[in-house]
Amino acid sequence: MKLDLTFDEILTTTRAVRKRLDTTRAVPRSVIEECLELALQAPNGSNRNDWRWIVVDDPAMVRKLADEYRAAMGVLSSGAVPSVRYLSGSDPREDKLLESAFALVEKLDTMPAILIPLMPGRVEGKSVVDQASMWGSIVQAVWSFMLALRSRGLGSIWATVTSRREKEIAELLGIPLDEYTQVGFFPVAYTIGTDFKRAWRKPVSEVLTYNGF
């Protein structure tokens, strides 16, 4: 079911949802497929469509991926968190971000679904032109997927920390590591409530210049 939100509201309120993911509510495959159908309308270089999308909704495999996420975060099996510096110092709500990032770890074992988009090829050793084309051919589709989720009352997080465990995740899911790059790790669930706010961002006046740097 679609929420009554304008396009601008969807653009400004699609957040990285962690604490408010409802892991008790099943997500039908049909909903994920509907969102992906929309997402795949995104542009991609030469319209090659050579992306791959893996949705993990088998509870045992979700738990294995959760283990990899924990390992990537540096969370020990005791639940203790080693001192790791994740933050950039720019967002005024960074303490909340870190708390939220670790709260997600607690929920991952029971996540209804996890999406792992794959782009063809490896970026290692590639020219900037090639890398721009590779990332640029999938990022829009992934963001469209997140917007489509939001429009239907679901949420996700764009997580790249799992790339630290790319090899282990590839082994788990049978991904040929030398042929595909994992773009990220996207838990998918209905959100607890559907009211989300605009985020803090640097104002346009601070980051925009005309006709030069």
- Least Å distance, CB 150 to ligand FMN, is 11
CB nearer to ligand FMN: give 16 or 54. 16
- The residues binding ligand FMN (CB under 6 A) are 15-16, 97, 101, 104, 157-161, 199
- Least Å distance, CB 119 to ligand FMN, is 14
Strands (E), the chain: 21-22, 52-56, 113-120, 154-155, 180-182, 186-191
CB nearer to ligand FMN: give 31 or 157. 157
CB nearer to ligand FMN: give 35 or 73. 73
CB nearer to ligand FMN: give 81 or 101. 101
Orientation angle between helical segments 59-73 and 94-107, nearest 10 degrees: 140
60: burial class by Cβ within 10 Å (0-12, 13-18, 19+)?
exposed
Look up tokens 């699609």; give the residue.
14
Alpha carbon 164 to chain centroid, angstroms: 15
- Least Å distance, CB 30 to ligand FMN, is 26
